[in-house]
Structure 1
Amino acid sequence: MNKIILSLIFLMLLSSQILPQSAAEKFNLGTKAFVTKDYVEAYNYFESFFNEHNEIDEMYSTAKYYSGESLLNLGEKHAAKERFEFLVNNYKWSTFRDAALYKLGLIYFDTKKFEQSRDRLNILINNYPTSQYFGPALYWIGESYVEEGGIDVAIKYLEDAVAKRKSNKYIDYSIYTLANVYERKGEYQKAVEYYDQLLSFHKESKFAPIAQFRIGYCYFQLKEYQSAILELNNPTIESLPTDIHSEALYLLANSHYRLSEFSNAEDVFLKFIVDHPGSNLLRNTKYGLAWSYFQQEKYNDAFEVFNTLSLVDDSIGGNSFYWKAESKRYAGKESEALTIFKEFVQKYPGSVLVNNAKYQVGGIFFTGDKFKDSEKYLLESVDSDNAIVKSKAYILLGEMNLNNQNYSAARKNFKTTLSIADTLSDIYSNALLGLGISSFYLKQYNEAARSLIDLETKDASFNHNKVSFYLAESYFAKGNYAEAVKRYNKIDKDDRGLNGLSQYGKGYSYFNLKDYENAILSFSNFIKKNPTDIRNLDARLRLADSYYGNKNYISAGRIYKEIFLSNEEKARDPYVHYQYAQALFKGGNTSEAISEFRILQSTFPESEYADKSLYIVGWIFFQKNSYNDAINSYRVLLNTYPNSSLNPIVYYSIGDAFFNLNKYDSAIVNYQKVINQYPYSNYVFDAVNGIQYCYVAQNQDDKAIKLIDEFVSKNPGLSFSDQIFFKKGEIYYSQASYEKAKTSYKEFASGYPKSELIADAYYWIGKSAQNLNQFDEAIFNFNRVFDSYPNSELAAASVIEMGNIYNQQKKYDLALAVYDKGSEKLSNSPQIAEILFMRATTYANSGDIINAYQVFDEIVQYHRETVFADRSKFEIGLIEYSARRYDNAVVYLRSLGDSRTDELGAKAQFYLGMSLFEQGKTGEAISAFVRVRTVYSSYGEWLSRSTLMLGDCYIKLKDFEKARQFYRDVIAKHRGDEIGRSAQKKLREIE
């Protein structure tokens, strides 16, 4: 305004000199009136001035500007706009043009003609960059875009306005508006930065208090509640208008609430209620207060506030009605809660919380075991659009069906829950657990395990005891007892219910794994900690069974006897009596065992253990070689239980007893009963063998052969007919009747081409031919086994036999070809080391010592767990010895002499002595040869050779007396053989 006043004074002085008195006087009077804010008078003088002054000059444009300003101050914006537009369009050189453009921008802004406003203000900022209106123009352009929602463009102009800090009298407006624009845009952090800038550099601005509030609001939106609390507690907030102050308190209380500072939230909500009783946020505040009480478990206080709010029928009232019921429920007053929930359902059938209420009614009925009522409400609540309520309802329905053992329905409920619940929620975890349990009871163990493992993977800490228990039970049911044990072991010991059951389950798992030691520990632990459990008696019985399985028959018998003599239900179980008698028998108390077995049979004659008991009595006598008593006992069983399933083995056992008494005819009679009366029993094969042995024992091999032919002829379809027929070849082979054996095996191959013994038949055809020196036929059949039945155990044996034949014929190239093919094709055979050994031996036989050495070394390196590794070491030692590489020979031979006590060790020890002797280490050689005499004295050849060499050692030492003694020892044991003649020669040389 100072610039305008100075301009007016200057023009007044100028007009008094150059204008006619009347025009100048009117201009001066107009300007004086304007300065004194008499805008009507000013306007009139300027209008008179225009009528008298027709020159287009600076004074005219000035009068136009102040005429417009006068009209503007009088509220005549339209008329003012016309004056400013005239000046702007016709006096571009006027010093007031920038001011006129600015005023036009404001007029258009006020009349919401934002495009025209920006047009005039943009001319200003483009043509007058140094104008005092440049900064404010930027601000108002920004504001115009804000009004139109052009937030991004507004930000650009407002940031420019803030940057023109020195020339912008609206700088605080610009900063505040820019911050507010960022706030509206949701960029709260940026908004905070500009609000802070306003507070830092323009503390006296009228926007400072509201900026303080807006910072708190922005932090609240950023969920930085601690910062929001700090800002909203600033004393400046107290100076805000009532409506804004109340909003600040409301946000402050909610910030405390969001930080779970419910006590502080309560205090601020209460202050709000006292300070702003007429605020439109009052009900929201009371609702927040009720929630603060609720979260502090002040359920009675929460109820009072919710109850008051529920008296008004609005959204808060409806929600409060629901939550007053929840307050009662959480306070443990389920009966009152039930009544309110039911009222809510009737009063607000369209509420989004109605299904929540139905769910809670169903839940209360559920906990009260009123399952029919519960089911009614839960089935209604599953119609909820709220996935949480819906999934919770299905969870309860699933648990209800689990309790009612309706596992299929339960499984369906839990599966439905999984399809709607959030996968990260506890509801989802509960559904997985329920699905696992219901699947377990439906015997769908794979699905049960899959669900429980999914739950464990999702949240390992969720009800892990129950998860581990049902996983263990599922694995147990599937027969995976080792995995069951692992899961049982994961159950916490302080969970008395499941830990007890886990001990019981572990006991059974270990028992089924035949790990009786751990079964004993688990059952003992369960019995000790659960004396009143209904499973205790069964655990005691299984403990006894575990002792029995562990061959601790005394402990087993003691427990069986305790149960047997008790008045408990298991005492009347013949199984207990049977196991007790078995424990006596296994523990060596056979007399008492016989007595108990007989008592059991007479006490429980119809039980499944009655005939077994009589059989074991016979078996005890059989084992004691009391064959007549055994026969009598078996006959008692046959007479008492003529239809017993044990009768085949009874007749077979009677036959064995007669066989052992050398009463072969009686034995044959009983074996025949097995064959004739029970042709499909598992003992027919043994019975035929028994008859065969009887004939062989009587040198009646022809009868044995005839028996086989007749049996096979009568029973061609039996599963073991091929095994019986195969026996025929074995008999001929054992008699060295190789031609007949070969014929019999060929008949077998023709008659039973799909038998599991077919490879054996071709092998024994080969062996029979080999023994007959029919080498081509032998090789043909061995090769057939190798080529056609590579998975047979006899494939490797066939390779070895072919190699032996070729070696015998000195056809080393053919032998090596067979071994090469065999080692390649049978690389995983247990006999691969033997094949390689024979290959190396063949190289040695052919004089190829280098290749022999390499193969022997391969066996030592890669097959060290087999006997052929040591045999190969010995062969390498001999090669080194023969090549006079004595140090190498000593290494191999000494390792064998130190580790083996068989003939291989004896040979190695002897050649160790020879290696030392050849090196002139006579003392060490003597020690080596003496060790043969002390460690390997049972191996005569090597004992004698070592004794002979001891004589040679003492000759080197010139101790001829000792040498004579050793030579004489050899002569005494080997008169007439090569070693003896060698000893005699040496003895004559020193006498």
Structure 2
Amino acid sequence: MKKISYLVLLISAFFLCVRAEGRNLSHEEQLVRVGIGAYNDGFYDIAEKQFSQFLREFPTHKSASEISYLLGKTCLDRGKIKEAKRLFSRILNDGKNFEFVDYAFFWAAEIEVKLGNGEEARRLLLSLANRFPKFEWIDNVYFRLGLLDVEANRLSSAESSFKKVLALSKRDEVIRPSWFWLGILFYRQKNHEEAARYFKSVGEDPRLVSQTYQRYALFWLCETQLQMGRFGEARSTCKMFTDRFREDTLSAQIHWRFGFCEYRLGNSHDSVQIFRSFLKESKDIEMVYLTQYLLGEILLITGDYASSAKEMTLLLAKDQGNGLWGAGAIILYWNYLHLGEIDGANKIFQRLQRLNHSEDDKLFVQWLNAEITFSEGKVADALPYYFNLVNSKYRQRALFQIGKGYFFENKFREAITNLDILLLEFPDSNAAEECLFLKGECLSKLGEVDQALETYGLVTRQNRMTHWRLFALTQTGSLYSLRNEQEKAEEAFKRAIQDFPDHSLFYHAALQLANLNFKKKDIAEALYYYSIVLKANTLELLGEAYFALGEIFYQQGKDEKAFKHFEAAISHLKETSPWFFLTQLEIGNLQRKWERYEEARKSFRIVLDRSEDEEIKRAAKELLNHVESH
């Protein structure tokens, strides 16, 4: 330490200046000279012996405080903590005018930390900071105060101390560790953005920070990114950790998180391989349970029901108190259903019901029973289970499922009642937009169009880019189209196109806009939107667009182009579609116009033989009679 060296030089100069006077060293001078030489050379046992003898023989010497300080530091370096504490405490309590009292405070605090006396260490450091704000190591003082406050869970004080380090210091050896601990503090406060910013700063230049802080900063950066759902960034952080620290005590934890990122990013195959590798190496029982559960969940999602069932069977064979047993049993239940093993599924469900459940567990099993019954399409059978849950903590979800169930059962008034109750009691529900959309659908089915439009408007005015907003805009446009309110219909479909350019319903909205413009004879605008629809991958939409383009060209007298587009429409339309038969009528008309009567008869016969629409069949029969007259 710079100040220790200065003290040694100062004492050496005082005691050794006798050489300049040309006389022999006195006994006390010899003790100090030998002690200082031994200290400088690292022979602390000899230094301790010399300094101790000096203090015994010359306790009132004017340099006694300085020698006590050197002896205290020597004892500290030798690990004689209690003796060092006694010496530094005496220096602080003597009240003498000692030049290095600030350093005595510092080392006394260090000793208290080593002895586990955090509060006493903190008291000494605070005294040092208050009395000696220009202390050479003041940044280190605040750093240690921050660490002590973290340990004592005084988060606000810790944050203040670490920020003082950043304001006062220019040394990376305390600045970057302070960034790390600020990251930890913000993580604990759930301020993940700030936490990530500090963790990233720690290791920006690996040369300026110890490997320990690099490792932990990367680990906690990954953890923070996981908490924020930034799985791509977390995966990159895991890779950076692995590249820098190939053999590390944290490697297994990083390896697991890498697998979790792959799982959340949809890379199921890679995540399965990583988790299986982790299971072969890990001895952490809790992590093994969690990994087996995740493997079972991933394999269920990917359709590998047999492998998923195997993982869940292993999990269920373990202690039922592991916290994942119930969830694992549910996954195994679903696997058995997919595998057609009904007996196995029933046994698992019975085991769930026979467990020594708390009241919450009993409610969960009842909820599970309702959900399973509902998912099997037995909506009417599921409703009583949900009604049993409306006065429990599942009330919100039960009301939602009851409303949805009544909708599926075409009991629209009952559906509206339950959806309204939910929206009234839980206005901030995550399902609020879906509830409003379902209510709009119910009102539309009941013919209450004005109320339906008003309800859809509650969804579209929220300006949240969810698919429920898109559905509401689409239904709004459709209802206005049916009421021949063309401008309002166009407005709704245009908003759908503007807000959701990457959704498949984008092309549906474009088709409706094309049809609306065709209807008002704005051919240029209609052609623009039809050209958009032709970029879609949905056959039915392509068929409708080609048919409409054929109609435009037919009305313009461009029969060849019309015929070409009608043929394209046929290749994209299903025979169950009314557009298929309308297109056959138009093809037949053109063939009749060109006096290709046999081809015309063929088109009209297809309509008569296969269509179930009586109006279209009547038109085809009338046209066929015209052909037969030739």
Q: Taking structure 2 as the reference length, what is the TM-score of the superposition?
A: 0.68
CA distance in 2, matches of 1:663, 1:836: 44
Establish whether residue 623 from structure 1 lines up as the match of residue 306 from structure 2. Answer: yes
Alpha carbons of 1:309 and 1:852: their partners in 2 closer, same or farther (altered >3 Å)?
A: farther
Task: Give 3-state SS (helix, strand or coil) of 2:363's partner.
Answer: coil
Q: 1:932: which partner in 2?
A: 569
CA distance in 2, matches of 1:754, 1:650: 21
Tell whether the 8 Å contact from 1:341 to 1:360 is kept in structure 2 after alignment. no
Q: 1:877 aligns with which of 510, 514, 520?
A: 514
Q: 1:672: which partner in 2?
A: 350
Establish whether residue 502 from structure 1 lines up as the match of residue 214 from structure 2. Answer: yes
Alpha carbons of 1:810 and 1:578: their partners in 2 closer, same or farther (altered >3 Å)?
A: closer
CA distance in 2, matches of 1:843, 1:869: 18
Q: 2:108 aligns with which of 366, 380, 397?
A: 397
CA distance in 2, matches of 1:817, 1:582: 49
Deviations 1:543-563 (A, max 9, x none): 7656765647768877987x7
CA distance in 1, matches of 2:320, 2:12: 82
Give the deviation of 1:486 after TM superposition: 1.7
Tell whether the 8 Å contact from 2:108 to 2:124 is kept in structure 1 after alignment. yes
Task: Give 3-state SS (helix, strand or coil) of 1:366's partner.
Answer: helix
Give the deviation of 1:887 after TM superposition: 0.5
Establish whether residue 417 from structure 1 lines up as the match of residue 128 from structure 2. Answer: yes
Q: 1:202: which partner in 2?
A: none
Q: 1:757: which partner in 2?
A: 397
Give the deviation of 1:489 after TM superposition: 1.8
Q: Taking structure 1 as the reference length, what is the TM-score of the superposition?
A: 0.47
Q: 1:898: which partner in 2?
A: 535
* Matching residue's letter, 1:413: L
Tell whether the 8 Å contact from 1:746 to 1:761 is kept in structure 2 after alignment. yes
Q: 2:267: which partner in 1?
A: none
* Matching residue's letter, 2:108: L
Tell whether the 8 Å contact from 1:796 to 1:829 is kept in structure 2 after alignment. no
Q: Report the count of equivalent residues.
A: 580
Alpha carbons of 1:436 and 1:788: their partners in 2 closer, same or farther (altered >3 Å)?
A: closer
Deviations 1:456-502 (A, max 9, x none): 2433534234435555666788896846752552463376xx22563
* Matching residue's letter, 2:410: N
Identity %: 14
Tell whether the 8 Å contact from 2:92 to 2:101 is kept in structure 1 after alignment. yes
Q: 2:363 aligns with which of 699, 708, 719?
A: 719
Q: 2:26: which partner in 1?
A: none
Tell whether the 8 Å contact from 2:292 to 2:311 is kept in structure 1 after alignment. no
CA distance in 2, matches of 1:753, 1:300: 78
Task: Give 3-state SS (helix, strand or coil) of 1:903's partner.
Answer: helix
Deviations 1:358-392 (A, max 9, x none): 54553344344443343233223335587984432
Deviations 1:788-829 (A, max 9, x none): 4433456545544554565556554444444456655x5558
The higher-RCO structure (CA 8 Å, 6+ apart) is 2
Q: 2:60: which partner in 1?
A: 346
Tell whether the 8 Å contact from 1:948 to 1:983 is kept in structure 2 after alignment. yes
* Matching residue's letter, 1:676: R
Give the deviation of 1:851 after TM superposition: 2.9
CA distance in 1, matches of 2:277, 2:415: 62
Give the deviation of 1:763 after TM superposition: 2.3
Tell whether the 8 Å contact from 1:523 to 1:542 is kept in structure 2 after alignment. no
Alpha carbons of 1:411 and 1:302: their partners in 2 closer, same or farther (altered >3 Å)?
A: closer
CA RMSD in angstroms comes to: 5.9
CA distance in 2, matches of 1:816, 1:519: 50
Tell whether the 8 Å contact from 1:468 to 1:487 is kept in structure 2 after alignment. yes
Q: List aligned pairs for 1:821-840, cutoff 5 A.
A: 828=464, 830=466, 831-840=468-477
Q: 2:81 aligns with which of 371, 375, 382?
A: 371
Q: 1:974 aligns with which of 597, 610, 616?
A: 610
Tell whether the 8 Å contact from 1:394 to 1:414 is kept in structure 2 after alignment. yes
Q: List aligned pairs for 1:682-693, cutoff 5 A.
A: none
* Matching residue's letter, 1:771: N
Q: 1:452 aligns with which of 162, 165, 171?
A: 162
Deviations 1:251-283 (A, max 9, x none): xxxxxxxxxxxxxxxxxxxxxxxxxxxxxxxxx
* Matching residue's letter, 2:245: F
Q: 1:843 aligns with which of 457, 464, 480?
A: 480
Give the deviation of 1:848 after TM superposition: 2.7
Alpha carbons of 1:385 and 1:821: their partners in 2 closer, same or farther (altered >3 Å)?
A: farther
Unmatched 5+ residue regions in structure 1? 1-293, 312-320, 529-535, 564-569, 591-619, 685-717
Give the deviation of 1:975 after TM superposition: 5.4
Q: 1:164: which partner in 2?
A: none
CA distance in 2, matches of 1:310, 1:475: 65
* Matching residue's letter, 2:367: Q
Alpha carbons of 1:850 and 1:766: their partners in 2 closer, same or farther (altered >3 Å)?
A: same
CA distance in 1, matches of 2:277, 2:446: 69
Structure of larger gyration radius: 1
Alpha carbons of 1:836 and 1:926: their partners in 2 closer, same or farther (altered >3 Å)?
A: same
Give the deviation of 1:949 after TM superposition: 3.8
Q: 1:492 aligns with which of 198, 206, 209?
A: 206
Alpha carbons of 1:382 and 1:309: their partners in 2 closer, same or farther (altered >3 Å)?
A: farther
Establish whether residue 362 from structure 1 lines up as the match of residue 65 from structure 2. Answer: no
Give the deviation of 1:435 after TM superposition: 1.7
Alpha carbons of 1:462 and 1:753: their partners in 2 closer, same or farther (altered >3 Å)?
A: closer
CA distance in 2, matches of 1:521, 1:676: 48
CA distance in 1, matches of 2:71, 2:529: 88
Give the deviation of 1:420 after TM superposition: 2.3
Alpha carbons of 1:877 and 1:309: their partners in 2 closer, same or farther (altered >3 Å)?
A: farther
Alpha carbons of 1:305 and 1:893: their partners in 2 closer, same or farther (altered >3 Å)?
A: same
Establish whether residue 914 from structure 1 lines up as the match of residue 624 from structure 2. Answer: no
Q: 1:199: which partner in 2?
A: none
Give the deviation of 1:623 after TM superposition: 1.2
Alpha carbons of 1:861 and 1:375: their partners in 2 closer, same or farther (altered >3 Å)?
A: same
Give the deviation of 1:884 after TM superposition: 0.2
* Matching residue's letter, 1:430: N
CA distance in 2, matches of 1:482, 1:722: 42
Q: 1:700: which partner in 2?
A: none
Establish whether residue 437 from structure 1 lines up as the match of residue 147 from structure 2. Answer: yes
* Matching residue's letter, 1:434: R
CA distance in 2, matches of 1:656, 1:728: 9
CA distance in 1, matches of 2:208, 2:353: 62
Tell whether the 8 Å contact from 2:146 to 2:162 is kept in structure 1 after alignment. yes
